[in-house]
């Protein structure tokens, strides 16, 4: 059972340890490729050119606490 279900007072301040490469890859695969480019102007296809490196870099930033998502367009 989930910790948050057992204890309603429990607060999470960092979920970086729960996120891994497989999870990020799964999230990437679930993105629709036909959508418009994001604020960073990178398409899904362009991101895929260096997918392993991009996901590793993203995971490192998440775990260090330095990842700052950009605002939506």
Question: Is the residue at 44 inside a domain?
Answer: yes
Question: Is the residue at 27 inside a domain?
Answer: yes
Question: Is the residue at 2 inside a domain?
Answer: no
Question: Is the residue at 6 inside a domain?
Answer: no
pLDDT string in tens for the chain (73-residue length): 466 677 778 777 777 778 999 999 999 999 988 887 878 889 999 999 999 999 999 999 998 989 988 776 6
- Stated pTM of the model: 0.74
Question: Is the residue at 28 inside a domain?
Answer: yes
Could you tell me what percentage of the chain is helix, strand and coil, using 3-state DSSP and rounding each to the nearest 5?
Answer: 45, 0, 55
Residue 1 has a pLDDT of 46
Q: How many helices (H) and strands (E) are present in the chain, helices listed first?
A: 4, 0
Residue 8 has a pLDDT of 78
Domain count, the chain: 1
> What is the domain extent for residue 50?
12-64
Question: Is the residue at 37 inside a domain?
Answer: yes
């Amino acid at each position: 059972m989930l910790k948050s279900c057992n204890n309603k007072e429990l607060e999470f301040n960092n979920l970086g340890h729960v996120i891994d490469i497989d999870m990020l890859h799964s999230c990437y695969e679930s993105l629709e490729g036909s959508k418009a480019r994001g604020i960073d102007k990178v398409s899904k296809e362009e991101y895929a050119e260096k997918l392993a490196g991009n996901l590793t870099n993203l995971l490192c930033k998440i775990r260090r606490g330095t990842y700052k998502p950009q605002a939506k367009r």
